[in-house]
Amino acid sequence: MWYNRLGFKLILFVGGILIVALGIFTFVSINSQKKQLIGEVLKGASRISETVKRSTRYDMLKYESEDVHKIIETIGEQEGIEKIRIFNKEGEIMFSTDKKDIGSMVDKKAEACYACHSAEKPLEKLPMPERSRIYKSKEGHRVLAMINPIYNEKDCYTADCHAHPSSQKVLGVLDIGMSLTDVDHQIEGNQKKTLAFAVVLFLGISVTIGIFVRRSVSRPVRALVDETKRIASGDLENALKIESKSEIGELANSFNRMTKDLAKAQEELKEWSKVLEKRVEERTQELKKTQEQLIQSEKLASLGKLAAGIAHEINNPLTGILTYSSLLLKENKDNLQIKEDLEVIVNETTRCRKIVKGLLEFARQTEPSKAPANINKVVEETLSLLETQALFQNIKIEKRLKKGLPDVMMDIDQIKQVFMNIIINAAEAMSQGGTLTIQSDSDPQKRFAEVCFIDTGPGIPEENLSKIFDPFFTTKRSGKGTGLGLSVSYGIIQRHDGFLEVKSQLGKGSTFTVKLPL
């Protein structure tokens, strides 16, 4: 609805503030004009009052009452003077421009004379503003009256005609009444002019603000709303055209950038959709491979049981073959032809024995005998067994073992075997030299102790990363490995409720991470 629009609310809000501001301005202006005009009348009354006092002073001293009456009547005929009276302290009118008032008492209630007759405010101490009053005449118009005390001066109480004691400070009061009819007409005219000016100013400012809000706020905001609806419908082609350097213009520019970003994101989503479809297909293939691997693992488990029995039977004949072939090799060391054949027999028999040993270790899968141990100490002990071997002569070993790690429940011998397999594999991968960094720490959640083995070798191809823990999988040259070391290590870590992870990049090296629960 139109009354819910931002432009209407903004105009309504600004209009309300403008009405309040103009109302306050008008009120203050009118009151100020009233005070100024009343003040001018009050000053005029004061001047006339002093004129009357000075004009009648001599006749008062001579007690020439007729002359006093004439002076008062003459001055009272001036335009704007309502009434001139002289009355004593008790309020009895002694002289007046209206002779009917002479001898009567002042109506104190009608003329608001309380200030002059208050015991707390003696007449002689009243300042000029408090000696004035405004009341309504019998004809209905307003009258401003001001009293002026007639003091008992020295030449008065020492005169022969008067019998006033010197202690009497005030002899009477001169009261000047000024008609406010002209002033009220002027105030009313000023009020109308001020109100008219305020209304015209309000309408002019309101129309100006309305035009400004419509052009600078309502139209751009409406355009933004329409653009939002268009984008919501899926149209991201057209740009919003608002030529402004204000915040609305910046918002429009930001909106256009957002629209472009949305269009770009939409294209990227389409591309990602295609990529995801491709990856889902790849993952499906991987799942099929994983299923095949599980089937193969079950077969290998059965093979492991079979291999354990066969290994025991093969081990004894292999020992005999190795023993006798070694003896024959010593006896025929001068016969080169026989020596070469015997060396082949000895080497292949030794290799068979290693395979049998690996089969036995793979088949056993003995449960770990756990006890609390410091993982850093296990790393140090493993390194002490290997560092002196020739395989490590060209390899720099850096240790970054974090102190203060909690103990881990582990089978120390089995964990040493895992560390040894990983370290030897890293050393064989760096046969031309390199750096092996071993660092220990705990994971951010403090649930696992982590030992990372980081080598600078050639790395592992991505297609082989998912196979390196499979039994009998090896990338070493024929005769250099059985493919069971990492499989055995993986099984040991699993039986410790931990994880064995690998990350690798071709040409940058590999990182094996062992995680054991704290």
Q: Which of 171, 186, 201 is the last residue of a domain?
A: 186
What angle do helix axes 412-429 and 375-386 make, rounded to 10 degrees? 50
62-76, 177-191, 307-321: which is most confident: 177-191
Encode pLDDT of 389-405 as tens digits.
Answer: 888 888 899 999 999 89
Where do we find the tokens 């306050």? Answer: 24
Q: How many Cα atoms are found within 13 Å in the side-chain-facing hemisphere of 418?
A: 33
- Residues present in the chain in total: 518
pLDDT band at residue 300 using 50, 70 and 90 as cut-offs: very low
pLDDT at residue 120, as a whole number: 45
Encode pLDDT of 251-295 as tens digits.
Answer: 667 777 777 777 778 788 888 888 898 888 888 887 875 675 465
pLDDT at residue 399, as a whole number: 92
pLDDT at residue 161 tops 60: no
Encode pLDDT of 452-475 as tens digits.
Answer: 999 999 998 888 887 787 766 777
Residue 37 placed within a domain: yes
pLDDT at residue 166, as a whole number: 66
Residue 401 placed within a domain: yes
pLDDT at residue 180 tops 80: yes
pLDDT at residue 513, as a whole number: 94
pLDDT at residue 441, as a whole number: 93
Residue 340 placed within a domain: no
pLDDT at residue 304, as a whole number: 58
Amino acid 166 reads S
220 vs 47, which has greater pLDDT?
47
pLDDT band at residue 358 using 50, 70 and 90 as cut-offs: low
pLDDT at residue 517 tops 50: yes
Residue 126 belongs to domain with CATH number = 3.30.450.20
455 vs 355, which has greater pLDDT?
455
Q: Which of 156, 186, 216 is the last residue of a domain?
A: 186
pLDDT at residue 153 tops 90: no
10 vs 26, which has greater pLDDT?
26
Task: Give the mean pLDDT of the chain.
Answer: 78
Residue 262 placed within a domain: no
Residue 344 placed within a domain: no
pLDDT band at residue 446 using 50, 70 and 90 as cut-offs: confident
Residue 245 placed within a domain: no
Check: CB of residue 342 under 8 Å from CB of residue 328. Answer: yes
Alpha-carbon torsion angle 221, 223, 226, 227, nearest 10: -100
The rounded percent of the chain whose pLDDT value lies above 90 is 11
pLDDT at residue 1 tops 80: no
Residue 462 belongs to domain with CATH number = 3.30.565.10
pLDDT at residue 27 tops 80: yes
Check: CB of residue 476 under 8 Å from CB of residue 351. Answer: no
For the segment 429-457, the average pLDDT, to the nearest whole number, is: 91
Residue 240 placed within a domain: no
Alpha-carbon torsion angle 243, 247, 248, 254, nearest 10: 90
**Residues near 344 by beta carbon (within 8 Å), at least 6 away in sequence:** none
pLDDT at residue 410 tops 90: yes
Closest by alpha carbon to 307, among 269, 272, 359? 359
pLDDT band at residue 507 using 50, 70 and 90 as cut-offs: confident
For residues 270 and 265, what is the distance between their CA atoms, to the nearest angstrom? 9
Residue 203 placed within a domain: no
**Based on the structure, what is the number of domains in the chain?**
2
Q: Determine how many CB atoms are found less than 10 A away from the CB of residue 401.
A: 16
For the segment 122-126, the average pLDDT, to the nearest whole number, is: 55
pLDDT at residue 322 tops 90: no
Q: Determine how many CB atoms are found less than 10 A away from the CB of residue 199.
A: 12
pLDDT band at residue 296 using 50, 70 and 90 as cut-offs: very low
Q: How far are the Cα atoms of 37, 68, 100 from residue 186, in angstroms, in the given order?
A: 9, 34, 32
Domain range for residue 138? 2-186
pLDDT at residue 91, as a whole number: 75
pLDDT at residue 333, as a whole number: 75
Q: Which of 153, 186, 219 is the last residue of a domain?
A: 186
pLDDT at residue 188 tops 80: yes
